[in-house]
Chain A
Amino acid sequence: MKRTPNNFIALKNIAGSYVGTTLPISKATFPVPFYEGLTYSPPARGGWNIVHIGLTLPQAHLIFVCPEGCLRGVVLSAAELGVPERFSTIAVGEDNILSGDIEDQIITGVSHIIDKLPKRPPAVLVYTSCIHQFLGIDIDMVYDALRADNPDIDFTDCYMFPIMRKSGPNPVEMMRRQLYSLLTPIPKNSRAVNIIGSDLPLPKSSDLYQLLAANNFELHEIGSCQDYQAYKQMAASSFNITILPSAIKAGELLAEKLQQTHIYLPMSFNYAEIDASFQRLSQLLGITYQRNDELIAKAERALAQTKALVGNMPIAIDYTAGPRPLSLTRMLLEHGFNVTDIYVDSFQVEEEADLAIIQKIAPNLKLHPTIDVGMRAISRQRPTETLAIGQKAAYFSGATHFVNIIEGGGLFGVDAVYQMAKLIAAAYQTPQDTEALIQVKALNWGCECNL
C-alpha cells in the first residue's frame, strides 16, 4: 500500500472490524485493525494541536471564530502556554446563525480585536470552524474585506474543521499546510532547504543536518525563525523536506505555489530505509551520499548498552511517540528488547512491511486501541513494571519509566536510532511523575507552562 495524492481520502476511510481492547498482532488487519465506534479520550495531552502549530509563526496573532464550546480548548491551550496575549476569540452564537450575519461578525470582530491590540501584528491567522462550512459562508469575501481594511497585515485562512477529517485534511494536516500559506514568491536560493511541518527543530546531531551542512546547504525551519521576516525568507528555499505524514499537504502546497521541490522522507528506525531516504534526497539535491557505517556502529553500541541495562523489562509503545511505532518496535525486537504491547488505532501506510515482519517474529505481541470504549476501564496495573515509549503507553501500562516523546521528537536518520537508545536508557534509570507530565499540552513547548 502506497501513499499517493489520489488515495488521500480513501486511506482515511478504511474501517477496521475488531471490537475489543486486546488483539494479537498476528491477527491485525492493515492499516486499521480496530473498529472505530464511540471514542474515549485518554488523558495524554502532549500532542501539538492547531493552536501550538499556529503559534510557531513568529509575531503572528491568532483569532479563532467558533461557537463557545469549541473556543474553550483553544483559548486554554494558549493560556496554558503563557501566551494569551497572542490569542483572541470571537464566539459564534445562536443569534448569529439565525440572523445570518456570520461574515459581518468575522470582519468587524477581527478588525475590532486588531484595533485593541497593543501593537499591530505583521500576520493574523483567522480560524473558522465547522459551522462556517455548514452555513456556506462567503469566506473569500471575508478575507478580501480584512485585507482591504488592513493592508499592513498578512491574513491567512486557518480552519478548525474536525468534522472534515474523513473527507479532507484533518485539522492538524490543514494547519501544517496553512502555516506556510503566507510565504510568497521571492528569488530562489538553490542551496537552501526547508524542513516543514515538524514541531521541533532538527537536532544538529542528526545525520540529515550533517549531510546538508557538509554540502553547504542552508537549513530553514519555522521553529528556528526569530521573527516574521525570517519566516518569509523560507520562500527562498528551493527544496522542502517533510518528515511527518501530517506535513505532506504543506509540501504539496508549496510545490504548487512557490515551485519548491518537495520530498517526503518518512521517519524510520530501519537502516536500509534510512539509507534509501538519504539516497533519494541526495539525488534530488545533486550531492554525493555515502552510508555512514561509523554512525551506525555508534547506534548499535548504544542499543547494546541499553539492552544490557533494561534486560527483559516489558516495553510498551504507542503511536503518539512517533509516526512509525511499528518500525520502532521491529528495530527493538530485532535487537532483543522485550516489546510486549503496542497502543495504536491505525497504522501509517509506511508501516506495512514492518507489520508483516513483526507478525512473524512476535505473533503474540499485543495490540490495543487507544480510543475504544473498553479502554476506559482497563486495568492500568501490570504484574511487572513496564517501560513505556510514548504518553498513552505510559498511561495505559501504569509506567513511571517512560520516554516522554511526541511525534518523533524531531529525530531523523541513524541519529534517531542512537537517540532513542539513549532515551530508553534514561527512562529506565529515572522514574517520572507520569500523571503530571502527560497532561501538559505540547510537552510544554517553548513557553513557560502555567500548569
Chain B
Amino acid sequence: MFESLGGRLEDALSKIRGKARLSEADVELALREIRNALLEADVNLLVVRAITDRIREAAVGAMASRSLTPGQQVVKAVNDELINVLGGETFRITYESKPPTVILMAGLQGSGKTTTSAKLARYFKAQGRSPMLVGADLQRPAAVEQLKTLASQIQVPMFSEWTSPIEVAKAGVAEARRIGRDVVIIDTAGRLTVDAELMDEIAAISREVRPKYTFLVIDAMMGQDSVNTAKAFNDVLELDAIVLSKLDGDARGGAALSVKEVVGKPIAFASDGEKLDNFGPFHPDRMASRILGMGDVLTLIEQAERTMDEEVAERGAKKLMEGKFDLEDFLQQLRQVKKMGSLKGMLSMLPGVPKELRDVEIDDAELGKIEAMISSMTKKERSDPSIIDASRRARIAAGSGTTSANVSALIKQFKEMQKMMRSMGIGPASATKRRPKPRPSKKGRKNRR
C-alpha cells in the first residue's frame, strides 16, 4: 500500500541527482515529493513544512554555488537534514548524588507507560542499579495489579497504595529511600492533554516528587496528533526525554521525528517488542536510517543476538562461508530466522534492498511450507538434493502436504540461491586471502556446475 519513505525520497531525488543545472521547478518538484513522503510516514504537517523549508534553503544555496553537481548537493542536504532532525547523541542518563533518582513516566492512555516502566526498571537492574516501581495509576482498573505482576517478573520491588496519585508518588519515593533503592520509576495514569484536571494532577506529582527525569511515552504508530501531545505534556512538565514504544510494529515512526522537532528533547529509549527485555537506548542515527530506508542492520543484528541460538547461527554462517551450506543448514537457520519476526519486518531493516523486493507481499506462511518440505527429506537428500528423483519428490510432497512441483521449485530455488551466494562472493569460489585456503568444491556442486 505504501511505498517506503526511503523509496519515495529516492524517486524524488533521482530526478535531480545527476543534473548539472537545477531549475527552481526541479527543486520544487523534489520538495513536493519529499513532503509527500514525510506525510505518508506520519510526520506532522507543520514539522514537514519546517523540514522542507530548510531543505529548500540548502537547495537554493546549492543552485547558486558553481558546483558541478548541484543535484548531488541537494541529495546530501536532504540526508543531512533528516539525520539532523532525528539525530544528536544517544541520551545519557546520570544519577542523583543523593539517591534515589526519581523518574516520572507520563503519556496518553495506551501509549505503553506501565509496560515501559517495568522495562525501564529491568534495564536499570541490568545496569547494576536497584530500581523500584511505584504504581500511581489508580485510574485504570487493574493497572496497579499489572505493574505488580510485571515487577515480580523482573524481581523488582513495587509500591502502591489506595490513596491518591500524589500521595502514592510521595510515599513511594520515601519508601525507596527507606529500603535503599536508588532509582524510582513512577508509573502514572494515562491522560488526555485536554483533560485539564489530570494535567494539573501530573504537574502536582512532579512538583511533589521532583523527578530528575520526566519521560513522555509516545506510541510509534501515532499520527499527526503526536505534536499536540508532546507539546502539551512539555508545557506542564518540562520533559527530559521521550520513550518510544511499539517500535516493533511496521509504522514508519514519523511521530518520532515530529516529537523530536517540536519539543527538542531527545528520544532516550525505545521499546521494540512485547517481552520485557525488548527495550534499550534509542539510537537516533539508526532510526534516521530506518526512516530513510537505509536499513537498520545494527538493530537487526542485536535482535538476532537476542533471539537466535548463537551456536546454530555460527555453525550456519561458517558453512555458508565454506560453501558447504546445505538444506539441513538452511532448515536450521530458517527456524532461527523465524524466531526473529516477520520477514518483511527484517527486510525493512536491511540496507540496499531493491524497492521491488521491499514492496513485495511476503507471506510468512510460505516459510512453514518450506520447513515442512525440508523436514520430510532424509538426511542424505538434505545434504545433496540432486539425488532427489521423481519418486523421492512424490514422497517428500506427500510427507509435507505439498505438491511435487513445490518440491522441485524449492530445490531449483535452493540451487539458484547457492549460485547467487557464490556470485555474491560467499563461498569458496571467491574466498579472499584472509580466509583459510578454499576447500575443493563439493563433488555434487561440480557436477551441477
Report whether chain A binds chain B.
no
Q: Interface residues, chain B, CB within 8 Å of chain A?
A: none
Q: Interface residues, chain A, CB within 8 Å of chain B?
A: none
